[in-house]
Amino acid sequence: MAGHGSDGKGFGGEDFLFEVPELDYDLDVVLPEGAPDPMLWRVLIIPLSPKQVTDGGILLTSETQQNQTMINYIGKVAKLGSMAFKSHNTKDESDPPEVNDYVVFGRYSGVRIEYKGVPMVIVADDDIIAKAKDPRGFRIYV
């Protein structure tokens, strides 16, 4: 029986996912000086941006780069609030994310901001759904 899952098919067999090609990220994430400090249980994340040029030397249009960035839910932890991963919801997490860890966060999580031209997201600690050792190779389904 076809299910809701890795086959990309709904229960009736219809396609329900839009697949973005495997992304190759620019991992040189730099936190600008004076970036905001998240309060309490919040986490400041810098979403990863796709590379501007493919490995084959093709220059991606700014529209393509922006589209890939907008649907990106993978980022690098830049700062932690003083209570992040210490509240009753997350204190039992055995290996909580730390600064410079790559994480996956929820699609509608947090507040998206830009500071000195760098896009950032401030999310609650329990909106982080996974840690990733290496963010390259992820595919995002929307």
- The per-residue pLDDT for range 54-111, each reduced to its tens digit, is 677 777 777 766 666 555 788 899 999 999 998 777 666 678 999 999 999 988 889 9
Per-residue pLDDT reduced to its tens digit, 13-43: 555 444 444 555 666 778 899 999 999 999 9
The residues near 125 (Cβ < 8 Å, ≥ 6 apart) are 41, 42, 43, 81, 84, 85, 87, 89, 90, 96
Give residue 24's pLDDT: 58
Alpha-carbon Rg for the chain, nearest whole angstrom, is 17
* The 128-132 sheet, strands edge to edge: 111-115, 118-124, 42-47, 74-80, 102-105, 128-132
Task: Give the N- to C-terminal CA distance of the chain in Å, as an integer.
Answer: 23
Q: Which CATH number fits domain 25-132: 2.30.33.40, 2.60.40.2310, 2.60.40.60, 3.20.20.10?
A: 2.30.33.40
DSSP state for residue 61 in the 8-state scheme: P
Task: For residues 132-137, give the mean pLDDT.
Answer: 79
Domain parsing of the chain, residue ranges: 25-132
Question: Considering only CA atoms, which of 63, 54, 57 is closest in space to residue 22?
Answer: 54
